Amino acid sequence: MKYSLSFLLFASLSIHVISQPVRVVPYYEWSDPIAFQLSRSPLITGYGECSDSLSQVYDGMIFYEYDGAYYGIENWADYYYWYTKKYWYYFDEPELYEFFYLTGNDYGMASYIAGNYYRCHYYPSLISLQFTNRKPQYNRLRDTKYCAQSAKEIKRLNKALDNAFVKKLNSSQKKESYCQKYRNYSYSYSGTHTTCAYKTAGKTGYAGQRNRQAPVNSSVNRISSTVQSSGTTELARVAETLK
């Protein structure tokens, strides 16, 4: 009986996932909350103990947790910012995505995610990306080939993300090594003030692009980052390789 119930739930999930179409998202809607709301929900989520409380304070906004920090999720830009943090070991140079995120560059963010920087086979989102008049070198999300659309594929995605061997193998390549390579791109930590949009429990601003006051919750670990101008220039040069 228990086996039969499990099978029925598995089959039900398969039918539910397959029955919904994959939404086509133009790259310029990467930061658009409406595009996110009209898309199917992400397959991978990250609710934490404070997610519900923060959601109540911030008008129903979704909050995902990673390593004690909470990230407000309103659009695909927000979602993949959290995702690149939590599953950093499946990305090459995730700081490139962070740079695009901080500067509000939708094309940069979308082309990074759709490109060869992501090393997992399946994506956690059920969307395809359209670049219209822009032509990135790679677009793995031009169709549904890498979208996990069945329960079996979703299981493979979850198993891959939970692969301790992969995480251990890539530990030496974590973001600190990238920051050492580009020494002028540095992080500084303070109490509640954030100068350049590294967010925990909400977003703070860079040039007005990511501007939301951080929740006044003493249990939330607030982290701030400062990107020095020379470091920003260096990252911008590196980012040109995506075009």
* Full-model pTM: 0.69
Higher-pLDDT residue of 176 and 54 is 54
Higher-pLDDT residue of 145 and 243 is 145
Higher-pLDDT residue of 188 and 120 is 120
Q: What confidence tens digit (pLDDT) does each residue in 99-134 have?
A: 999 999 999 999 999 999 999 999 999 999 999 888
Contacts of residue 233, defined as CB under 8 A and 6 or more positions apart, other chains included, come to: none
Amino acid 8: pLDDT: 47
Amino acid 145: pLDDT: 94
Is the pLDDT assigned to residue 18 strictly greater than 70? Answer: no
Average pLDDT, the chain: 74
Amino acid 61: pLDDT: 97
Q: In this predicted structure, which of 11-20, 37-46, 190-199 has the lowest mean pLDDT?
A: 190-199
Domain boundaries in the chain?
21-242
